[in-house]
Each structure stands twice: as structure tokens, then as C-alpha cells.
Structure 1
Amino acid sequence: MEWISITGSWQYLQGSSDQPGLWNNQPAQGSLPVPQTAHLSGLLARHTTTTNRCWFAVWRGFGALVVPTVGIPTVAMTHRPMVLLTGPLTAATTSLEHPPWDQRASLWWPEDRAWCVATDVDLMTTYVGGSQACINALTADDRLEAIPVQADQRITWDSDSINPTPPRTAH
């Protein structure tokens, strides 16, 4: 499902309006919120043997990063070069930008590569790749809004296969 389709209007994109009683804020874009990150990392810890050594990548283009962007390893991503950091799994909740901004790693995975978490800077959705047992644990957890998707699932504004995409209207 895509935000524009489930809200029924383009006016709710980028937090330009709310729907009181239903939601007052759109989901965070580009960074998984701390409570969900903490819970997710706790679940994922059960599916790796290397919780003390994980990798974290954050887009070098964020303007208020607290980590250096020159002279440290990077991950070459088309249009999104990322700074590569390492630390324990518990570091997944750490904001990598100076306040008041709040930005966690866009990509994170354990040393044993048992799973990988990805939140694109332009999306409201986080994806996790892992074993079937890992994905089953995530989708069965009541505290996460998680569904299994296929590797070829499109993630564009018009890819909602459940709710119709509303027409764009001039405001």
C-alpha cells in the first residue's frame, strides 16, 4: 500500500494536512522511528550470531550528519553514496544527525549477513530481507506493521495494488 492511495488524496503527502481522528501525522519518511527501530532490532537479534558487530550505512547527502563524510569507508549506491559505520546492533537507534534532525542508518546488517534492513531516504517504508524464520517472526509480531513482500515488489507512488491511486488535482 502507498500513502497517497490509503489517504485517498495527494494533499496528505509531505505532511501538508491531517485527518483528525484517523491520523494527525504521516509516517516518518526516510528514517524508522526509535520505538520501532528498538523493537525491530530486538527481534532481529534472535536471528544473528553477531549482534556485537553490525554495519550501518547512511546517505552522505544529509546536511547535519554527526559522522564524518570524508576519509571513511563508503558504500557506492547510485545517487546515494553512503558513509559506512560499524558498531553493535543496539546502535541502530542512534540518530546520525545533529538535533533537531533525527536520522538513523538507511541500511544496517550484522557481520554474519543473516538479514538486512533498508529504509530509503525518500520512502515511508522499511524493508527487511532475511531467512523465512526471521520474516515469519517479524510478520507475526503485533508491535510491528509488517507484511511479506516479493523481491520484485515495486515501491513507487503508483504501486499500491490494493487501494486506487487518486488523480492529481491542482490546488
Structure 2
Amino acid sequence: MFDPCSDLAAAKWIAASDEHWGKLVTLGPPGFPAYARLRFIPDPVHEGQSENDAVRQADAPSDNDQLRIAVGTLLRHTDAPDEGYLLMWDGWGRDSFPEPVLRTPRLTVPNREYYLCRVSLPDFVSGAIEDSWQAETNRSMPHPAFIWPSDRAWCVTSDVDPHWAGIGAQQSLIDPLLTEPRLDVVRVEPNEKLPFYS
């Protein structure tokens, strides 16, 4: 279901980026024509608001479910191959990872380290990757920090700090996400100040 990678070459395009690390790990690698944010919860309404004060709809999908919906939408609107990659932040703790993943080297960017896994993107969308992960660890799979197809047509980035995931792609791939009723996706404008909770 998921294949831990000892060779990190597939992720070097992320590690080699000269983007400021904070923007890289929250919005994704530079160079895409368009960017958007998938908001797991609404943006803060005032300065200094705590994420604990945010109101999430009772029937809202989980963050992982929203990531799967977003990836599924991207796959429906692109010729991207089924093969893709996940970068998993190592900060979730060793117990969160299958043993074969822990035996692979980590990819380093400033202030973050990740394990790389090759996956079938349709299996990620269906939840089969999460099921396989949980079967090996007896724990829920942490959400991936980066998700992309092998042709790099798009990249979804979900860091632990913001309340949203960044998406980089062609505008034609962003547009279907903006109208997906199960998701709250907004465009990111050039030089926009991105919102964060305190």
C-alpha cells in the first residue's frame, strides 16, 4: 500500500527549494502558476484569536478526509499518473510510524524532517493507505505534510501549525477545488498575508 523510500531523490525538488522554510512547509514549493488554501476550519476573525475558539461545523469532514477529497478532485481533473509521494513529518513520534518507515533516511528542510513514502494516489483517496498504516501501527495515520504525483503536476502541503493546507497547481486544477461543496478552498493572491491563529 505504501512503500517507504530509502532513496530521497523524488523529494529533492522540495528540499532544494530556496523558498523561505515557513512558506515552503505551509504553502508548498514555488513555481506553480496558482495557489490556494484548503481551510480545515474558518480563518480567525480577529487578531490573537485562539484556534480553540474556532467554530467547526458538526458534520465537517476530518482534516484527513478533506485532504483525501482534495487529492481525489485533483486526480479527476488531471492526467497525473497514479503513482505519488507522501512526506510524513517525523515529529508525530516513533510510535506513529511503521517500523519499515523508521528504517529509512529522513529528508531535511530547515526546522522540519520527513520520511518519504511512494504510494498509489487512488489508494490514498480511498483510505486504503490509512487502513494499511493503522494495521501496522495500531494508531491513526498522521496527516501527510506533502502530497504530490510523480509528474509534479500539483502539490498539497499540510504543516502542523496552520489551520489550512496549501495547494499549488495550474489554475485549471485549482478551479474545481473552489467549487467542491465538501471543501472550503480559497485562492491565495500574490503577496497575500496568510492568516494564522495564535
User: TM-score normalised to the size of structure 1?
Assistant: 0.68
Out of 70, 74, 80, the residue aligned to residue 40 of structure 1 is 70
AA aligned to 1:41 is V
For residue 6 of structure 1, give the secondary structure of its aligned residue in structure 2: coil
AA aligned to 1:54 is G
The residue that corresponds to 1:105 in the other structure is 144
Gaps of 5+ in 1: 159-167
The share of aligned pairs that are identical, in percent, is 20
Out of 45, 55, 60, the residue aligned to residue 90 of structure 2 is 60
Distance 1:7 1:100 in 2: 35
The residue that corresponds to 1:162 in the other structure is none
State the 1:111 CA deviation. Answer: 0.2
Gaps of 5+ in 2: 1-38
Give yes or no for contact 1:27–1:124 (8 Å, CA) kept in 2.
no
The residue that corresponds to 2:124 in the other structure is 91
The 1:155/1:99 distance shift into structure 2, 3 A limit, reads: farther
The residue that corresponds to 1:80 in the other structure is 112
The answer to which structure, 1 or 2, has the higher relative contact order (CA under 8 A, 6+ apart) is 2
Distance 2:45 2:103 in 1: 43
RMSD: 3.4
Out of 187, 190, 198, the residue aligned to residue 148 of structure 1 is 187
State the 1:45 CA deviation. Answer: 0.8
For residue 187 of structure 2, give the secondary structure of its aligned residue in structure 1: coil
Q: By percentage of residues, which structure has more helix?
A: 2
Task: Name which one, 1 or 2, has greater alpha-carbon Rg.
Answer: 1
The 1:77/1:152 distance shift into structure 2, 3 A limit, reads: farther
State the 1:135 CA deviation. Answer: 0.6
The residue that corresponds to 1:129 in the other structure is 168
Q: By percentage of residues, which structure has more strand?
A: 2
State the 1:84 CA deviation. Answer: 0.5
- Count of aligned positions: 149
The residue that corresponds to 1:138 in the other structure is 177
